[in-house]
Amino acid sequence: MQPVPHLYPLLESRRNIVITMHQKPDGDAMGAALGLYHFLVSIGNEVTVISPTNWAKFLNWMPGCKFVIDYEVNTQKSIELLNSADILFCLDFNSMHRTKKMETPLLGIKCVKVLIDHHEQPAEEHFDYGVSNILKSSTCEMVYDFIVQSPFADKLNLEMAACLYTGIMTDTGSFRFAVTSAETHKAVAHLKELGLDHSIIHENIYDNFLESRLRFIGNALLNRLEVLYEYNTALMAISRRDLLKYEIQTGDTEGLVNYLLTIEGIKLGALLIDRTEERKWSFRSKGDFDVNELARKHFEGGGHKNAAGGRSSEALEDELKRFKEVIKKYENHLQ
Ligand code: 5GP
Ligand code: MN
């Protein structure tokens, strides 16, 4: 994988570029894709963003979001675009299986492939150019660096700023997680100098849900929470029935896992959700407990040290039992 500065000359003439990100893109994945989209368009390229799946409604306000293609809805068109791409950018994931059904087409196409990502253990062999840095707060901060370190840094504008701020803010938990660095704050200061209105972005992301989502959270906290004090672990499992009863949509469960760590002394929060096709884990930890390792070893997943995800094909109840067995092995690490 060559360093990304070697790529800049390739972007100077009109290229067909596809940008993609992980399935169910969050604020960072969508923000990075759209921030980069506006930048690459501004220097004269033909650019399309293809998302592997749908995304949360609270991202729809983002400039350019209406042009994003959902691979599952427009598969044929997406494949044509991928086949005619000169360059593919992969953002906020580092292993092709995180794009679900897009994995096979992505591995099959022969264009120049570029990685910009901050997760652990990148599958570097799939990429020609790239930057992978787990010390970065967000992929949006990395796209910001990519833009300001390029010969076209003067193209950075308010549209890009709004997209990039979204991912920096959401991936740092509004600037509280340990990955938030002086560089992160300097980048945001620069975006503010361009005229960024940050408070409207917080409102768009966090104050834009239906009543049913709040009632769903109330029910989950009251009736679906289990605290395993002997392991300093809080656990929550959400059934299909709950998702249907409260008409839960993509994005509505984001942030739910963070409540688990708000209990004094809790070091590990684990949320299991019964998505129809699989059971999906979200893990969060405080301090030294490494949920990336836990997810990789036992739950077919990965991510970062303090925030990771995983999956399972087991039934919800069976998977919960399995979790309770697995954490017995980690008893010492959780004290
Ligand atoms: P979340 O719990 O918010 O879905 O994900 C937390 C972090 O773990 C994110 O950085 C996300 O990209 C990563 N992650 C979530 N699910 C998976 C997974 O199945 N595999 C891997 N490798 N990473 C995941
Ligand atoms: Mn991210």
pLDDT digits (tens, 9 = 90+) for 161-172: 999 999 999 999
CA distance 269 to 172: 17
Going through the chain in order, the beta strands assigned E by DSSP cover 16-21, 46-51, 69-70, 87-91, 112-117, 129-132, 225-228, 233-238, 268-275, 278-285, 302-303, 307-312
Pocket test for ligand 1, best of 98, 117, 170 (most atoms within 8 A of CB): 98
Quote the pLDDT of residue 184.
98
Percent of the chain with pLDDT over 70: 100
Residues 6+ apart with CB under 8 A from 176: none
Q: Which atom of ligand 1 is nearest to the CA of 311?
A: 19
Both 202 and 215 in a single domain? Answer: no
Is there a contact between 169 and 175 (Cβ–Cβ < 8 Å)? yes
pLDDT digits (tens, 9 = 90+) for 180-197: 999 999 999 999 999 999
Both 125 and 241 in a single domain? Answer: no
pLDDT digits (tens, 9 = 90+) for 264-301: 999 999 999 999 889 999 999 999 999 999 999 999 99
311 Cβ closer than 6 Å to some ligand 1 atom = yes
CA distance 177 to 267: 15
305 Cβ closer than 6 Å to some ligand 1 atom = no
Residues 6+ apart with CB under 8 A from 19: 33, 36, 37, 40, 47, 48, 49, 50, 88, 89, 91
Domain finish residue from 206, 227, 243 = 206
CA distance 16 to 168: 27
- Report residue 195 as tokens: 């005229």
Domain finish residue from 191, 206, 221 = 206
- Report residue 93 as tokens: 């994931």
Both 237 and 102 in a single domain? Answer: no
Quote the pLDDT of residue 287.
92
Domain finish residue from 178, 206, 234 = 206
Backbone angles phi, psi at 93, to 5 degrees: -155, 165
Q: At 300, which helix (H) or strand (E)?
A: none
Question: Total domain count for the chain?
Answer: 2
Task: Please determine, for residue 13, whether its predicted confidence score (pLDDT) is greater than 80.
Answer: no
Compute the distance from residue 143 Cα to the ligand 1 centre, in Å: 19
Backbone angles phi, psi at 120, to 5 degrees: -75, 155
302 Cβ closer than 6 Å to some ligand 1 atom = yes
pLDDT digits (tens, 9 = 90+) for 126-153: 999 999 999 999 999 999 999 999 999 9
Both 219 and 147 in a single domain? Answer: no
Both 175 and 276 in a single domain? Answer: no
| Ligand 1: residue whose CA is nearest its atom 6 | 308
pLDDT band at 73, cuts 50/70/90? very high
Both 172 and 123 in a single domain? Answer: yes
CA distance 299 to 5: 36
Task: Please determine, for residue 205, whether its predicted confidence score (pLDDT) is greater than 90.
Answer: yes
Both 41 and 161 in a single domain? Answer: yes
Question: What pTM, to 2 d.p., does this model score?
Answer: 0.94
Average pLDDT, the chain: 97
Is there a contact between 226 and 235 (Cβ–Cβ < 8 Å)? yes
Compute the distance from residue 11 Cα to the ligand 1 centre, in Å: 30
pLDDT digits (tens, 9 = 90+) for 242-254: 999 999 999 999 9
First CA to last CA distance, the chain? 40
Compute the distance from residue 211 Cα to the ligand 1 centre, in Å: 27
Compute the distance from residue 230 Cα to the ligand 2 centre, in Å: 32
Residues 6+ apart with CB under 8 A from 37: 19, 47, 49, 64, 67
Find tokens 């679906």 and name the residue: 224
Pocket test for ligand 1, best of 134, 258, 282 (most atoms within 8 A of CB): 282
Checking phi first, is residue 121 left (phi over 0); if not, alpha (psi -120 to 50) or beta?
A: left
Task: Please determine, for residue 63, whether its predicted confidence score (pLDDT) is greater than 80.
Answer: yes
Q: Residues 75-97: what's their mean pLDDT?
A: 97
Both 189 and 274 in a single domain? Answer: no
Compute the distance from residue 235 Cα to the ligand 2 centre, in Å: 23
Q: Which atom of ligand 1 is nearest to the CA of 299?
A: 19
Both 125 and 29 in a single domain? Answer: yes
Quote the pLDDT of residue 46.
97
| Residue of 83, 136, 89 lying closest to 109 (CA atoms) | 83
CA distance 126 to 121: 13
CA distance 80 to 282: 34
Full residue range of the structural domain in which residue 222 is found: 211-334
Compute the distance from residue 308 Cα to the ligand 1 centre, in Å: 5
- Report residue 117 as tokens: 């990502």
Q: What is the CATH number of the domain that holds 177?
A: 3.90.1640.10
Q: What is the CATH number of the domain that holds 304?
A: 3.10.310.30
Both 327 and 250 in a single domain? Answer: yes
Both 107 and 166 in a single domain? Answer: yes
| Ligand 1: residue whose CA is nearest its atom 21 | 302
Quote the pLDDT of residue 192.
98
Both 308 and 226 in a single domain? Answer: yes
Percent of the chain with pLDDT over 90: 99
Quote the pLDDT of residue 12.
85
